């Protein structure tokens, strides 16, 4: 009888579902964000006008993200590169641009909302750089490089 009293709580405890947290598509864990991403397209929205840039033709851009820093490299008619530290809290991704070939952008802080669906990263936010005359919303879609 005493054996049943010991086994009953053990069985009840063993049958409970473990409390697990599955990462949602809207809140990527940092390790899911890390890696190399190739930019597919960018939507720039300013003053009611939308400009779409296709990065699969005539130009290419990658973003590399590790546990503390990001860097981007663009190759096309002109070379472009920059990087710095970033933070990720839930789906809020903030880039602190420390290095860039256009000095007007250095020191900029850019806030984005990111989502990851499979191997696709979407990034949406505002780029505002007074010294460069930039003030627009951007939406970018990347695919993870394997």
Q: What is the mean pLDDT of each run of 10 residues along the chain (146 residues)?
A: 44 43 54 96 96 95 97 94 97 97 94 97 96 94 96
Selection from 98, 48, 41 nearest residue 69 by Cα:
98
Q: What is the pLDDT of residue 131?
A: 87
pLDDT of res. 125: 98
pLDDT number for residue 30: 65
8 Å CB contact between 67 and 30: yes
Question: What is the C-alpha separation between 81 and 133, in angstroms, rounded?
Answer: 19
Domain locations in the chain?
28-144
CATH 3.40.50.10070 at 28-144, yes or no = no
């Amino acid at each position: 009888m005493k054996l049943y009293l010991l086994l009953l709580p053990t069985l009840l405890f063993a049958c409970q579902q473990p409390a697990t947290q599955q990462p949602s598509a809207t809140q990527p864990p940092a390790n899911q964000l890390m890696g190399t991403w190739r930019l597919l397209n960018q939507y720039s929205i300013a003053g009611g006008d939308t400009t779409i840039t296709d990065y699969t033709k005539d130009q290419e851009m990658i973003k590399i993200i590790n546990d503390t820093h990001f860097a981007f490299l663009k190759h096309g008619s002109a070379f472009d590169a920059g990087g710095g530290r970033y933070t990720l809290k839930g789906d809020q991704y903030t880039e602190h641009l420390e290095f860039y070939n256009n000095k007007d952008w250095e020191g900029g802080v850019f806030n984005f909302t990111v989502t990851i669906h499979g191997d696709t990263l979407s990034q949406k936010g505002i780029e505002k750089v007074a010294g460069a005359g930039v003030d627009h919303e951007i939406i970018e879609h990347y695919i993870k490089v394997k």
